[in-house]
Structure 1
């Protein structure tokens, strides 16, 4: 990659690289990108959330496949493409190559969610797919900005956030139902998973697209600084450690916070498709003793 493209890195990132004594030519030497392929700064450095252990993540949206391993790197391939780990001095650098057709696959999934009579199906996006959408939409273009704008336009971020919010909410209720029939310690493990899933749903609803727990707490804390947010943002610690309570108390706490979050999905700050994606699941939640559908009215 032409080292001059790294001149487009945000100033705080350049300052951090200077502090880490990470030479720009060494970083550029790890990247193989054709002139018509967008290159993005991605991950924690793109969002300003990096810490001393963070990799510098670069994403190349490829138009043609070829082996792009550079000397001294290790590949961690996935269904999306190749992902090479290397170093520039003591700075870990990850370079991911994803074909543009993978973005088209995600767009096609979104197109297939239109049901009958205006209903919307819930797409079953997994972590890698959500991570890719997050990186494409929040990444910083180092090259190919016009092409990147076209690719972003084909990925409906509101629909993906709706799916991430709804999937995590469904996961919460599913894990909570498990706690009603499982014995300790599995019951407490499911309870902890339900709490984290509920917080994930809330952060996707009121914040940015989030696919794992790495930045979950810091993003939740930023949302909690705002007025008129769901109750769980005022009770984050109590929610995440609900498994330490007796089961009846833990179940009641998480269900109460889930009901409050469900009612909040009508808030204009939330992605627009959440409630329609959740509609088919409402009849399965009768075991909760809470009429979630009625709480919307």
Structure 2
């Protein structure tokens, strides 16, 4: 499933087309995706202006002028594409084939902006694990999907002091603790592996060891917080990772996957200068973890 950098790249790709545009009509081509669509879904969006397009963790948030918010999740195979006028081509060359089969176009937003031709923003999802739900802006933070989410890894709020406090007393392995969305929102398997490699910390280490006895900051927590922020920032700058079921909305690829240091590199020499170790794969919580046991302690 797309991770935070991929979702942020989608948000940035949709933003120029959607923010400030009016929803002329919505084609809802089936009653449900992963969950049923809200009652009156298409009618509740019709003639509303999109005031902002945001993101929380891996959720896209479409804010509308009536103070309602459309919460979108891409699931395993969901993607958006933007079409203008009669042009239905998807520009760019893809490393992994993306679905453009019309039978998987489940929702089409017909938009009218202030300038240019009308636009169509199309949601395609062969596996139908994505979803779209509506809520009021005032209820957004308390929504069951968003309430309790941890700190975002894209700003300065995530620092060594906060990370130490969040991990203090946790007996779970460090990788498992990082995957807990109540700790760091939106941090998934790929970027947890990459951040731990950058911080030179073992995914097997007990999470509590990153905090001092009083729960305060340590050199390890500061190093890991910095690694998480930078790996996410680097991936966003590269346009996401374009793994299997992900693409940018403009059809271009994200090339961060070509710079993975440990993820999916089992048996390959570690990229740390002077390290003679080899990347290994272990299974934690049913997910593959890649790390170098020689330099990650």
- TM-score (normalizing by structure 1): 0.30
More helix by share: 1
TM-score, normalised by the number of residues in structure 2: 0.30
Structure with more of its chain in strand, by fraction: 2
Question: Of the two structures, which has the highest relative contact order with CA contacts closer than 8 Å and spacing of 6 or more?
Answer: 2
